[in-house]
Amino acid sequence: MPDESLIFEGLKVLDVGSWIAAPVAATMLADRGAEVLKVEVPVAGDGYRNYALAPFTPTAQINYTWALDARNKRSIAINLKSDEGMDILHRLIRDCDVFITNQPLPLRRALKLTYEDIKSLNETMIYASLTPYGEEGPDRDNEAFDLVAYWNRSGLMDKMRHGNTQPVQALAGMGDHPTSVAMYASIVTGLLQRERTGKGTKVHTSLLANGIWSASCLMQAQLANADFSTMPDKPRLTGALYETKEGRWMQLSMLRTAEALDRLFVALEAFELLADERFSTLEARMQHGDELTEIFREKFLTKTSDEWLRILKDEHELPVERVTQFADLPGDPHLTLNRIVSKPVDDIGVDAVINDPVNVEGVARVGAKKAPLLGEHTNDVLGELGFDASAIEALKSRGIVG
């Protein structure tokens, strides 16, 4: 698209984080042209490099999560526990526009990498901080992944179950990736403020804040002292899921009128329900929701999901969908037509990569390029800082860089 430009071209970003939520905010900037340098520890690197290789993850020939979330960056490995390593980082900070970190607050204080510690190095820098529970409070120093801070502490885990069944765990990264969008939004807002004032600032968000935001309809009810006992303890009618003949599931949603339910009775060939006093009005149908749900369950088992889609969705225009499985998604045309996924620029071992959900007309993306090897660009970056080959080799020999 000739009218599109890389809006963050020339923006220098230091990704001094690990795993997903904070580093992916840097990835979003890189996708739009920013020069992102990922700072990692020598030898081990970011622990997220090993996630897709773990025995509890889907097996593939490619490190798919690293290819997704670390694309379009360079990598330098620095031992920040050494004075010389910290000096290198300080030199990079002096020249950066954005510093992104989710290091635990106690570690930041020990390394003197809080905003208060380093803002004098670069008064125009945007310092972006991600924490599990927020910058203040009794748990501010605690470490936690999104499975706890986003999913559990927000109340989502408890409410995403039926009745007294066991709470369900979230999918990996399910809270991290939405939180990265909030982190990105905070950074971009900070950059706009800098453009207007000429001054840098600290921006921050947390996994807990984003979990609360995701649960906000019910959490706001709690803050309003609402009565939760009026909620059904198990899904009824359009809140229920219905299994079909071949074992797939159907989702009915938002059948809000008596007329729509009448059409459902006809589509299910449950004509006898139209004359049943228990289901003669919308109020009566809700009152006898458990009975009606069981009747629906028996009806849905008589046909396949393809048959029900044709009958309910196409013929009767009812709000029904088959419960999607991951295996269904590559064939969904909306993913490519809307650039939800796109073809990588480099040969990275996969034909499609997921894009972040932020879209601005006229703003281009660079396309997914190869995620960096650990310390792949250490020599280049140090050379740009003025180190010659012998100095770089000396730093490597003493474990200062890798």
CATH number assigned to the domain comprising residue 273: 3.30.1540.10
**Residues 97 and 39 reside in one and the same domain:** yes
Residue ending a domain, among 298, 327, 356, is 327
Residues 6+ apart with CB under 8 A from 14: 36, 37, 39, 89, 92, 93, 96, 98, 99, 100
How far apart are the C-alpha atoms of 63 and 344, rounded to whole Å? 15
**Residues 323 and 257 reside in one and the same domain:** yes
β-strand pairing of 201-206 with 35-40: unpaired
Within a domain: 96? yes
Within a domain: 6? no
Within a domain: 387? yes
**Residues 250 and 380 reside in one and the same domain:** no
Within a domain: 208? yes
Within a domain: 1? no
**Residues 203 and 297 reside in one and the same domain:** no
Within a domain: 224? no
Would you call 138 helix, strand, or coil by DSSP?
A: coil
CA 108 to chain centre: 24
* Sign of the four-CA dihedral 294, 295, 300, 303: positive
Specify burial of residue 208 (Cβ count, 10 A radius: 0-12, 13-18, 19+).
Answer: buried
**Residues 198 and 255 reside in one and the same domain:** no
Within a domain: 290? yes
pLDDT of the chain along its 402 residues, tens only? Answer: 345 789 999 999 999 999 999 999 999 999 999 999 999 999 999 999 999 999 999 999 999 999 999 999 999 999 999 999 999 999 999 999 999 999 999 999 999 999 999 999 999 999 999 999 999 999 999 999 999 999 999 999 998 887 788 998 999 999 999 999 999 999 999 999 999 999 999 999 999 999 999 999 999 999 999 998 888 776 776 678 999 999 999 998 877 788 888 899 899 998 998 888 888 887 887 888 888 889 999 999 999 999 999 999 999 999 999 999 999 999 999 999 999 999 999 999 999 999 999 999 999 999 999 999 999 999 999 999 999 999 999 999 999 999
Within a domain: 231? no
**Residues 26 and 152 reside in one and the same domain:** yes
Residue ending a domain, among 327, 357, 376, is 327
**Residues 40 and 174 reside in one and the same domain:** yes
- In this structure, what are the phi and psi dihedrals at residue 248, rounded to the nearest 5 degrees? -80, 165
Please tell me the total count of domains within the chain: 2
Q: For residues 343-373, b (16+ Cβ closer than 10 Å) or e, as one string?
A: ebeeebebeebebbeeeeeebbbbebbbbbe
**Residues 168 and 71 reside in one and the same domain:** yes
Fill in the DSSP letter of residue 78: B
